Amino acid sequence: MALKLFNTLSRSIQDFVPLDPAGKKVGMYCCGPTVYDFAHIGNWRTFVFGDLVRRTLEFKGYTVTHVMNITDVEDKIIKHVRETKTSLREFTGKYEAAFLEDLKTLNCLLPHHTPHATGHIADIISLIEKLVQRGIAYKAADGSVYFSIEKYRGCGCTYGQLLKLNFDEMKAGERVKSDEYAKESVADFALWKARVPEDGDVFWPSPWGEGRPGWHIECSAMSTKILGPSFDLHLGGEDLIFPHHEDEIAQSEGATGKPFVKYWLHGAFLLVEGKKMSKSLGNFFTLRDLLAKGFTGREIRYALLTAHYRETFNFTLEGLQGARASLARIDECVSKLREIEKAGNWTSAHPDAEILKKFATTLDDDLNVSAAWAVVFDWVREINRRIATNSLTAAEAATALATWANFDIVLGLELRHSDNLPEEILALGFARQEARKRKDFKRADAIRDELKAKGWVIEDTPKGPKLKKL
């Protein structure tokens, strides 16, 4: 069965067919953090969702190029830089480092590219120049450059592809300089913001004078620069649909004349203890707040992965306790399997194809994680039953461990265990075997290189591949 995903663009579930004619390579862009504070648990839900999409695609054998931008110049950042009297780099560097550390704590795979807005000012300017040349953008009396929605629509382009907008009822033709604005105003938005005294040292030269880019144009410039004018997947939280993603489409398609993104995926909001998260309600948690309460990144990751990405998820501390108990059940099962299998050689074992197929089928259904967990826990129950009746052989235990390692390519839970073969390395070993079975030797070699970079060497022996520490 093919992978099916809900595409916000068509408002329907569609078969996932990559743009690559060979059907192998996938370009995926996720809107990254604006680095002015620690990311909160709502943000993390979106990033863990992005990680699930990437891991599922890799599990299915696609070669993913994952791009996540770092927004390091934007309205809120400049305000904080002014208030804290620090330099832009010093201020954003601190939160960027924290973000990357948190990403690791939650065991999210690091994106292949993490471009910074401030590192792509020339690309941003050249994209705005294209829009000005095509008559879709204009310099206003305040020195800023705006995107004209009227001119864009006049070219036969659609503004409002992700969200149906009623232009008759809305006040069109207004101009907004702010990056975030209300749905009711279909306003011309700023691409380049002319320098004002409050910006301090944060400005760059441009053909329109000194200033800085708007937030929306940053994502268009960096995504198309790395992934090309058209790419497969664009992800973000549902709060970014309008105006941010709508504006990204307008800017990109306005400049290139080509369809920007094939599939738009949006993660739903998160409630904390049944309420919208807010500092005044005391239910506002950064990842670090939760770690300070004694929870682990793994428990938080598990909890975030229990709900379907398009459902509003109620995140609770009780739920985290539940996550701890569920993980303990898996850990206990796997550690028993390791004891039984001890004398064997995991690398010569093949995973249980039937169970894996069931697991894959649930993910194919628009990433139905609840059904995927049901497959995992039914499997745990059955293994435990076999262990309790002493009817599981060492070979069967090896098969079961191989099955778990395949689940974990998607789940990313990396079981702690006593022997010196980390789960991540084990999972990579299996991914390489799978690639070899598909005769995808390029992918297999890439995984071998990745293992090497992590300090492990894989040797193919008559009994199967063996992993050794370098």
Give residues in contact with Zn ion (CB under 5 A). Answer: 31, 219
Closer to Zn ion by Cβ: residue 27 or 429: 27
Closer to Zn ion by Cβ: residue 33 or 412: 33
**Order of strands across the sheet that contains 63-68:** 63-68, 25-30, 231-237, 261-267
Residue 28: name the closest of 111, 124, 127 by CA. Answer: 111
For residue 276, the SS3 value is strand
Residue 350 burial (CB count, 10 A): 15
Nearest distance in Å: CB 29, Zn ion: 8
Nearest distance in Å: CB 69, Zn ion: 6
Nearest distance in Å: CB 249, Zn ion: 11
Closer to Zn ion by Cβ: residue 237 or 297: 237
Classify residue 254 by burial, with Cβ atoms within 10 Å: 0-12, 13-18, 19+.
Answer: buried
**Residue pair 355/375 in contact by the 8 Å Cβ criterion:** yes
Residue 55 burial (CB count, 10 A): 20
Nearest distance in Å: CB 235, Zn ion: 10
For residue 70, the SS3 value is strand
* Secondary structure letter of residue 23 according to DSSP: S
Backbone angles phi, psi at 131, to 5 degrees: -65, -35
Nearest distance in Å: CB 91, Zn ion: 20
CA distance 347 to 465: 6
Residue 215: name the closest of 187, 237, 191 by CA. Answer: 191
Nearest distance in Å: CB 243, Zn ion: 11
Nearest distance in Å: CB 217, Zn ion: 10
Closer to Zn ion by Cβ: residue 131 or 219: 219
CA distance 174 to 187: 5
Paired tokens of 184: 């009711």
Closer to Zn ion by Cβ: residue 27 or 412: 27
Residue 140: name the closest of 175, 181, 187 by CA. Answer: 175
